[in-house]
Amino acid sequence: MCAAMIAHRITRLPLLHEATEHPAVIVPTHWGGKFSLFIWQKMVRSLDGAAVISLALSNLFAKLNPLADLIILPAISEIPPLPEARPEPGGKTLFLYSGSLIEAKDGVLSLVRAFHLAWQRNPDMRLRIVGYGSEAQRSTLAALVAELGIPEQVEISAAIPQEEVPAILAGADVLVLCRPLSRQAAYGFPTKLAEYLASARPVITTITSDIGHYLRDKETAYLVPPNDIQAFADAMVSAASDPVGRETIGKNGWQIAERCFNAEICGTRFAEWVGGFASRRAR
């Protein structure tokens, strides 16, 4: 960041920045982190523009530098064509989570507790967790599954290569994200949500960051307040009991992904935004 500011002062080239997290989330908590935050704030005040992932981050940047040209680019994904209608579902409803095993980030332990409550009301469901994390996180997750007495209903799988993720998502009945409320959740945006919606599978997610700006409950996704395990369980039961309705929600969610999270569309917006700085400099 210091090098960028020095180069900016020397060359007078536009100084642009990209942010997907609140800076306090990614810097260390000791004195070195405080110094990094100080430098970061100095840099933001020197910026010509910033591309941010959420409205909250945009407001933060605007407060520090009202003159900066800001653009909000949410989670971005390649959007495949809308798949053909799936065959009539059979067997138990498969809920799938793919991502980090960190509870504070994505609420995986809360997801298991919500599934347990839902499964007690409807035993014709199962949960698969495909995640990456430490051995300690994996052990904690497995211990909770055993404690709740649902090892036959919950499958914990190792992380898979990124290129295999779309097929895994498409094979599920419902995709789930139980992200709790936190500074990271408030200022960031879950990139996996774009991938979830792009699969045209119905999604159950907590409402954090800008999710409520893009999605509508029971129209384009099942939306649940964060930190409400019972409400998340209710949504799982609702999705499991209505195969036809959830398929419609999945297709509607795909349309949101195509319109708002499409890599080609967002890439064009970003290129035009960057190009604006070049044209202004050329005048």
Read off the pLDDT of residues 151-194 as tens digits, 9 standing for 90 and up: 999 999 988 898 999 999 999 999 999 999 999 999 999 999 99
Whether the pLDDT of residue 283 is over 60: the answer is no
Q: What's the CATH number of domain 93-260, 3.40.50.720, 3.90.180.10, 3.40.50.2300, 3.40.50.2000? A: 3.40.50.2000
Whether the pLDDT of residue 116 is over 60: the answer is yes
Average model confidence (pLDDT) across the chain = 92
Backbone angles phi, psi at 264, to 5 degrees: -65, -45
Q: How confident is the model at residue 40 (pLDDT cuts 50, 70, 90)?
A: confident
Q: How confident is the model at residue 119 (pLDDT cuts 50, 70, 90)?
A: very high
Please report the pLDDT score of residue 9 as a whole number.
73
Please report the pLDDT score of residue 85 as a whole number.
73
Q: When comparing pLDDT for 12 and 94, which is higher?
A: 94
Which sequence spans correspond to the domains of the chain? Answer: 2-72, 93-260
Whether the pLDDT of residue 248 is over 80: the answer is yes
Q: Where are the beta strands (DSSP E) in the chain?
A: 16-19, 49-52, 69-72, 93-100, 125-132, 154-158, 174-177, 203-206, 222-224
What pTM, to 2 d.p., does this model score? 0.92
CA distance 163 to 156: 19
- What is the 3-class SS of 21-36, one letter each residue? CCHHHHCCCCHHHHHH
How, if at all, do strands 125-132 and 69-72 pair?
Answer: unpaired
Whether the pLDDT of residue 150 is over 80: the answer is yes
Other C-beta atoms closer than 10 Å to the C-beta of 262 total 17
Question: How long, in residues, is the chain?
Answer: 283
Lowest-confidence pick of 53-57, 87-91, 122-126? 87-91
CA distance 235 to 279: 49
Whether the pLDDT of residue 282 is over 60: the answer is no
